[in-house]
Chain A
Amino acid sequence: MIRLVLAIALGRLAGRLSRLLGRGGSAIPGLVAAKICPTVIDRLVANLPDGVVVVTGTNGKTTTTKLLVTALEAAGTRVITNPTGSNLERGVATVLIERATMRGRSRGDIAVFEVDEAALRTLAPRVRPRLVVVTNLARDQLDRYGELDTTAGHIASALLHAGSSLLNADDPKVAALADGSSSFFGAVADIRHLMPPDDALYSNTGARDPSISPAVEVTTFDPLGDGGQVVGLATQTGSVTVRLAVPGVYNAYNAAAALGAAMALGVGAEAAAAAFEQMTPPFGRGQVIEFQGRRVVVLLVKNPSGLNQAVRLLGAVHPRSQVLIAINDEHADGRDVSWLWDARVEELAGTGHRFGASGTRAADMALRLKYAGIDAWHDADLERAVERAVADAGPGDTVYVVPTYTAMLRLLGTLLPGVPRHEVWA
Chain B
Amino acid sequence: MSDLRIVHLYAAHMNIYGDAGNVICLRRRLEWRGIGVEVERVEVGEPLDFAAADIVVAGGGEDRAQMEVAADLVGRSAAIHEAVRDGVVFLTICGTYQLFGRRFVTVGGHELPGIGVFAAETLGGTRRMIGNVVVQAPWGRLVGFENHSGRTVLDAGQGSLGRVVRGHGNDGDSGEEGAVTANCFGSYLHGSVLPKNPHFADELIRRALRRRHGDHIALDPLDDYLELKAADVAADRP
Contacts and interface: CB of A to CB of B under 8 A. Distances in A.
Interface of A: 139, 142-143, 147-149, 201-203, 205, 329, 335-342, 360-364, 366-368, 370-372, 378, 380
Interface in B4-26: 11-12, 15-21, 24-25
Contacts of A363: 226, 229-230, 232-233
B97 interface: no
B163 interface: no
Contacts of A340: 18, 21
B195 A341 contact: yes
Most chain B Cβ neighbours within 10 Å, of A337, A339, A367, A370? A367
Nearest to A205: B12
B237 interface: yes
Contact of B190 (A338, A360, A366, A380): A338
Interface of B: 11-12, 15-21, 24-25, 28, 41, 43, 62-64, 130-132, 145, 147, 190-192, 195-196, 226-227, 229-230, 232-234, 237-238
A151 to B, nearest CB: 11
Contacts of B145: 143, 335-338
Contacts of B62: 147-149
Given A335-B145, A336-B145, A371-B28, A342 B226 contact: no
A338 B192 contact: yes
B226 A370 contact: yes
Most chain B Cβ neighbours within 10 Å, of A203, A338, A340, A370? A338
B237 A338 contact: no
A366 B231 CA distance: 12
Given A336-B130, A370-B226, 19 more contacts: A142-B147, A143-B147, A148-B62, A149-B62, A149-B63, A202-B15, A203-B43, A329-B237, A335-B132, A338-B17, A341-B24, A360-B237, A361-B230, A361-B237, A363-B232, A364-B233, A367-B230, A371-B24, A371-B195
Given A329-B237, A335-B238, A341 B227 contact: no
A375 B190 CA distance: 24
A118 B13 CA distance: 24
Contact of B191 (A203, A338, A366): A338
B15 A201 contact: yes
A205 B68 CA distance: 16
